[in-house]
Amino acid sequence: MTTTVSAPVAARAGRPVLTQIVLRFSIIYFGLLCLLLTYIPFALLGILGRWIREYPGPWNMPITDPVTGPVGRAVFGVDAQLHQDSGAGDQTAVWVLVFCLLVVAATGAAVWTAVDRRPVPARALAWFSLFLRLAMGGQMIGFGFAKLIPTQMPAPGLAQLLRPYGEMSPASVLWLQVGSSYPYEMALGGVEVVAGLLLFVSRTAVLGAALTLASTAQILLLNMTFDIPEKLLAAHLLLISVFLLAPYLRRLTDVFARERACAPLTQPALFTDARKNRVAIWVVAALGLWVALGSGYDRWVVWHEQSGAASPKSALYGIWEVRDFTIDGQPIPPLTTDETRWQRMVFDDPQEAAYQRMNGELVPAHAHFRPDGQVELTSMNAIGAVDPGPPFATLSSEKPTPDRLLLRGTLHDRPITITLERKDPDTFTLRSRGFHWVQDYVYFR
């Protein structure tokens, strides 16, 4: 890193008023966006971020609700309160927040230009570019490790193996498609991790921005075509990548399109002192390793606790086919029109279960295993939360053989006895097909 301001930044600083207005708008808009999306600062906390998120504090509260709520009602006539029980990033509150940021950035850029006609200081642009590199790099590393250690898109669960393809949402199709091949998911994650790490190294920052641009373009395409509720985030990450690459576009065009030589793609200096700049390079690179360590550790914990082969399983783990179903002492025949009888039960995660009605509908339930050995099944709503109220079934279990299960208890306050047999999950083609180098015919089933 040199002690002089690099050519790209100096050139930007001397451009016409319109360019200066765009720069001012971008500084205000992207700066507020990165600060208000709390998971971006958390990524820079490394390992500490996992523990801080668990501690009650202002970071656990929707700090934008006092603004988005009134604006949503007054301007759009909608409820713009952030739903904390949702992981969706395209909520109404987020769209209203983006509108507010656009208004603030446009107003701020206009006032800034009216008050100060001088170009945006080159040193300020250098620091802001570094800020965006850190925010973008932390985000990409977090995204990448969630796939490199495949926890974002887990392998299809037992209940998902029973779901008809036509009943799945586009989002479920994408999630299960990626999760069905861990090597593919890990390759996607590896690219994102590399892109993020490159942004933390001064010499490779431009390459990192280019790789991030390609990655975020692919993410945005998937989010748009499979209706993933993170379109806003992906679009903004793409725009930030473009902003970081903008000073170098002419020289990159010279190299890749016009076959001409170009000057080195150096990052702008942060200080006038060479020693301070060298220290800054090493500090930023060390921060990248710190972020990678934190993201990797976080995903490793999730893998062992929730997603991986070593993660806890239900005490009754398996897909169980119902052979006999008795209510009030009366056997219920397996008729597809019967709304009471079940045809299968599924136990996968320790606190989850599902039963399949005779018409094929899968109904999720919360499973609570009591100390006395009985399991209580409680209904769940559409977003996966446990409904208040008493359990709809209380059952005791007995396994005469490893592949046979006997459940006795009550179902909606009626005595019930269910005899079930285990179904081997590896009999499903998705799990048993495997990989083949030589195939004389395409295998579509």
391-443 confidence digits (pLDDT tens)? 999 999 999 999 999 999 999 999 999 999 999 999 999 998 888 899 988 88
Residue 4 scores a pLDDT above 80: no
At residue 402, the pLDDT reads 92
Any idea what the CATH number is for the domain that residue 393 is in? 2.40.128.20
The contacts found for 184-190 with CB under 8 angstroms, 24 or more apart, are 185/147, 185/150, 185/152, 185/153, 186/147, 186/148, 186/149, 186/150, 188/147, 189/143, 189/144, 189/145, 189/146, 189/147, 189/148, 189/149, 189/150, 189/152, 190/144, 190/147, 190/148
**289 assigned to some structural domain:** yes
**pLDDT category, 262, cuts 50, 70, 90?**
confident
Looking at the DSSP assignment, which residues form a beta bridge with residue 393?
A: 377, 411
**pLDDT category, 13, cuts 50, 70, 90?**
very low
Contact 136, 241 (CB under 8 A): yes
What's the mean pLDDT when you consider all of the chain?
90
User: How far apart are the C-alpha atoms of 295 and 151, rounded to whole Å?
Assistant: 12
265 and 366 in a single domain? The answer is: no
User: How far apart are the C-alpha atoms of 67 and 63, rounded to whole Å?
Assistant: 9
303 and 348 in a single domain? The answer is: no
Contact 282, 18 (CB under 8 A): no
**72 assigned to some structural domain:** yes
- The percent of residues in the chain predicted with pLDDT above 70, rounded, is 94
User: How far apart are the C-alpha atoms of 26 and 34, rounded to whole Å?
Assistant: 12
At residue 1, the pLDDT reads 40
Mean pLDDT, rounded, for 293-305:
92
**pLDDT category, 60, cuts 50, 70, 90?**
low
Amino acid at 377: L
326 and 396 in a single domain? The answer is: yes
300 and 348 in a single domain? The answer is: no
Mean pLDDT, rounded, for 44-62:
68
Domain-terminating residue out of 267, 284, 307? 307
**439 assigned to some structural domain:** no
pTM: 0.88
Residue 289 scores a pLDDT above 70: yes
Domain-terminating residue out of 264, 288, 307? 307
User: How far apart are the C-alpha atoms of 361 and 365, rounded to whole Å?
Assistant: 13
- The percent of residues in the chain predicted with pLDDT above 90, rounded, is 72
Contact 238, 259 (CB under 8 A): no
Number of domains in the chain: 2
Mean pLDDT, rounded, for 255-266:
84
Question: Which stretches within 75-151 are classed as H helix?
Answer: 92-115, 122-148
Domain that holds residue 402: 318-430
Mean pLDDT, rounded, for 268-281:
92
**299 assigned to some structural domain:** yes
365 and 303 in a single domain? The answer is: no
Residue reference for tokens 């086919």: 321
At residue 14, the pLDDT reads 44
Residue 234 burial (CB count, 10 A): 23
At residue 2, the pLDDT reads 40
146 and 229 in a single domain? The answer is: yes
179 and 260 in a single domain? The answer is: yes
Going by C-beta distance under 8 Å and a sequence separation of 6 or more, which residues neighbour residue 128?
27, 31
User: How far apart are the C-alpha atoms of 136 and 138, rounded to whole Å?
Assistant: 6
373 and 422 in a single domain? The answer is: yes
**81 assigned to some structural domain:** yes
Domain-terminating residue out of 307, 340, 363? 307
DSSP letter at 347?
Answer: E
**445 assigned to some structural domain:** no
31 and 124 in a single domain? The answer is: yes
325 and 299 in a single domain? The answer is: no
Amino acid at 85: D
178 and 61 in a single domain? The answer is: yes
**147 assigned to some structural domain:** yes
**389 assigned to some structural domain:** yes
Mean pLDDT, rounded, for 203-211:
95
At residue 320, the pLDDT reads 97
274 and 370 in a single domain? The answer is: no
Residue 379 burial (CB count, 10 A): 15
What tens digit of pLDDT does each residue of 97-150 get? Answer: 999 999 999 999 999 999 998 899 999 999 999 999 999 999 999 999 999 999
